[in-house]
Chain A
Amino acid sequence: MSNRYWNEYQKEIADDHYFYERSCIRQTFFPGSEAAFLSILRNELGKDICDNPHQHTCTGIGYHSDVVPFNTTMTVVARLFSLMTECGYHNYVPSCVTSFGVFSEVIAKWKESPELKEQARQFLWDACKREFEVPDNIAHPSDIIYKFRFDLKPKMRYRLINRFTGKPLRVVEHIGCHYAKIFPNIGIGNAEFPYVLAGMIEAWDGEVVDYPERRHCCGFGFRQYLVRENRGYSIANTKKKFESMEPYEPDFIVANCPGCAMFLDKWQYTIAEMEHKTYDKEGYGIPVLTYEELTGLLLGYDPWKLGLQLHQVQCERLLDKIGITYNPSEKYKGVSGRINPSPAKPDCLRV
């Protein structure tokens, strides 16, 4: 594709001075990833990013589960914008892909119907006596890592090369649906050629796996997972992706949405226990990383401070392939200095 056309698939990403909004899902399942992102921005790239203690959920999971009305969600979003305004920032960076979609939807609705924005102002004033400005720029943190991928590369201790074979590692990249399917022009590469993760992989010498169900949903489905009786929907859709990627023998999966990363990890365990089936040849499963974990690992961050011990599919075999050094005895050690007992072993998935 010529550069002329490719330029149409780019987006503007602010250069510095970000207001960070934490993610309910990422904090819950990958707290180390949020800490790593802030460290990468501040310590590796020298950027300014605000982590405000008065922030809260965007309500996105509740909104898409239909227990929170749009007017409520848009006003909660307005309160988050008021925190940003109060702190003197203009560039909003929501950690969660669901939040990224919610903020983009609210702003799009406000552009289509300016009276709706005025209603949000009135709601927020009535409820909180607060005012807000709309951000100049909204970028997902994966956009920011993508933007600075070549600045980060010289600082990296490792590359995406299999040290045993000398060949590039084969990587499945999974983009959360709400990153670019709702508003294609806010994602790098749009909905058609999402490049935010592929750009990182290629810049860091890995090989992107293209497979038939590359753009299929991870299967979260909000109420389809949150209600236990509905979870068949969720696992069936994830299974469809695993079956599609299996013949390409990926070394690992990376995702920019915290929910996707969690499901792609945990459903491998569930399928292994239910059907004695794994999607690698040795029965360990395919490791799944968040993009913050991937970036942190290549920069030389300690895997056990990034939180890789919280993954059900174990990552040591991947670390060995990359050549990352780690201390196995630190894996289950806590801040107390105590080495906690190891987790129980699954019956079928090898760990």
Chain B
Amino acid sequence: MENILDYLRQDVRFEESLKACMNCGVCTAVCPAAEFYDYDPRRICELVQRGDEREIEELLKSDTIWYCGQCMSCKPRCPRGNVPGELISVLRKASQELGYFRMSEKGRQQVFLMRTIERNILDIGYCVYPDRVDPEQHPEQGPIWTWYIKHIADIAPKLGANYHGSGPGALRDIPKEDLEEVHRIFEVTGGIKLKNIVDNE
């Protein structure tokens, strides 16, 4: 493989996300992930900017890159126009494509995300759908969610939804021909390739 920095540069988002970091730390000051985890976007920008191949490889193998919540609060605050949250997306993509994500606990969670969110998109055309938000797996949704799921066929139409119906409306079934087009987009653009790399069992 060519060096990792060159690999990162192939991502169209890389140059835009890290122009010239002066290490002021405003991104870390405003970052929700930095408050919760041992996480510091300033250090990540500094590390990638330094360009040490070994350090970048270790970063891609670590839990650290998976702590960001992608809120992008860092973007409007950076005085140099960098986007640490977008740089994280570039690093995560590389970590998955190079197989490094398997070396960290947080990285391995991508397999679960592939089997839920990505599968939802390909199976039904939605990232999220009520039938796939299992009350057992989502106790934080409270008894109201358990109640809604139990009575959804009776309640959703009252709210104007077209639950599992055809034609327009909320919660409708997406036509097969549209799902096939979405699937072909995933094939042509690398979505399926990434899925196969991450979830190859």
B128 touches A24 (CB 8 A): yes
A127 touches B12 (CB 8 A): no
State in angstroms the CA–CA spacing of A233 and B69 once bound together: 9
B110 touches A343 (CB 8 A): no
A216 part of interface (Cβ distance < 8 Å): yes
CB 8 Å contact bits of A98-138 with B (1 = contact, 0 = none): 00010000000100110010000001101110100000000
A43 part of interface (Cβ distance < 8 Å): no
A267 part of interface (Cβ distance < 8 Å): yes
A79 touches B161 (CB 8 A): no
In the complex, how many angstroms separate the beta carbon of B38 from the nearest chain A beta carbon? 12
Q: Determine the chain B residues whose CB is within 8 A of the CB of A79 once the complex forms.
A: 181-182, 185
User: Which residues B124-177 have CB closer than 8 A to chain A?
Assistant: 125-130, 133, 137, 139-148, 151, 154-161, 166-172, 174-175
Contacts A72-B191, A346-B143; A236 near B168 (Cβ below 8 A): no
State in angstroms the CA–CA spacing of A95 and B164 once bound together: 20
B53 part of interface (Cβ distance < 8 Å): no
B172 touches A53 (CB 8 A): yes
In the complex, how many angstroms separate the beta carbon of A90 from the nearest chain B beta carbon? 20
A222 part of interface (Cβ distance < 8 Å): yes
> Which partner residue on chain A sits nearest B148 by CB separation?
A310
A57 touches B127 (CB 8 A): yes
B71 touches A124 (CB 8 A): no
B51 part of interface (Cβ distance < 8 Å): no
Which residue from B125, B128, B143, B178 sits with its C-beta under 8 Å from A28? Answer: B128
A1 part of interface (Cβ distance < 8 Å): no
A31 part of interface (Cβ distance < 8 Å): yes
Interface residues on A, range: 35 or more
Contacts A31-B161, A70-B13; A181 near B33 (Cβ below 8 A): no
State in angstroms the CA–CA spacing of A217 and B77 once bound together: 14
Contacts A61-B127, A223-B109, A230-B109; A112 near B117 (Cβ below 8 A): no
Contacts A67-B194, A227-B113, A334-B155; A128 near B185 (Cβ below 8 A): yes
State in angstroms the CA–CA spacing of A217 and B32 once bound together: 7
> Which partner residue on chain A sits nearest B133 by CB separation?
A28
CB 8 Å contact bits of A207-218 with B (1 = contact, 0 = none): 000000001110
State in angstroms the CA–CA spacing of A312 and B37 once bound together: 29
Which residue from B66, B144, B156, B184 sits with its C-beta under 8 Å from A343? Answer: B144
In the complex, how many angstroms separate the beta carbon of B150 from the nearest chain A beta carbon? 8
Contacts A31-B156, A232-B36, A233-B36; A67 near B147 (Cβ below 8 A): no
Q: Determine the chain B residues whose CB is within 8 A of the CB of A340 once the complex forms.
A: 147, 151, 154-155
B32 touches A59 (CB 8 A): no
A85 part of interface (Cβ distance < 8 Å): no
B161 touches A67 (CB 8 A): no
Q: Determine the chain A residues whose CB is within 8 A of the CB of B145 once the complex forms.
A: 266, 312
B198 part of interface (Cβ distance < 8 Å): yes
State in angstroms the CA–CA spacing of A35 and B171 once bound together: 11
B181 touches A221 (CB 8 A): no
B57 part of interface (Cβ distance < 8 Å): no
In the complex, how many angstroms separate the beta carbon of A130 from the nearest chain B beta carbon? 8
Which residue from B12, B126, B151, B181 sits with its C-beta under 8 Å from A70? Answer: B12
Binds B, one of A160-168, A248-256, A300-308, A321-329: A300-308
Contacts A68-B191, A69-B194, A232-B36; A226 near B117 (Cβ below 8 A): yes
B147 touches A27 (CB 8 A): no
A237 touches B195 (CB 8 A): no
State in angstroms the CA–CA spacing of A39 and B35 once bound together: 42
A76 part of interface (Cβ distance < 8 Å): yes
Binds A, one of B19-27, B40-48, B89-97: B89-97
> Which partner residue on chain B sits nearest A273 by CB separation?
B142
A217 touches B69 (CB 8 A): yes
Most chain A CB neighbours (cut-off 10 Å) among B13, B121, B190: B121
Q: Determine the chain B residues whose CB is within 8 A of the CB of A62 once the complex forms.
A: 113, 117-118, 121, 127
B99 part of interface (Cβ distance < 8 Å): no
A336 touches B154 (CB 8 A): yes
In the complex, how many angstroms separate the beta carbon of B183 from the nearest chain A beta carbon? 9
In the complex, how many angstroms separate the beta carbon of B177 from the nearest chain A beta carbon? 8
List 9 tightest A-B contacts by C-beta distance, closest first: A35-B160, A334-B154, A221-B69, A343-B147, A32-B159, A72-B191, A31-B161, A56-B125, A344-B143
What residues of chain A have their CB less than 8 Å away from a CB belonging to chain B? 22, 24-28, 31-32, 34-36, 39, 51-57, 59-62, 64-72, 74-76, 79, 101, 109, 112-113, 116, 123-124, 126-128, 130, 177-178, 180-182, 184, 190-192, 215-217, 219-224, 226-233, 235-237, 240, 266-267, 269-270, 304-307, 309-312, 332-336, 338, 340, 342-346
- Other contacts beyond A127-B188, A237-B69, A310-B148: 13, CB < 8 A: A56-B179, A57-B125, A72-B186, A75-B189, A79-B185, A127-B184, A128-B181, A178-B72, A217-B32, A304-B158, A311-B144, A340-B155, A344-B147
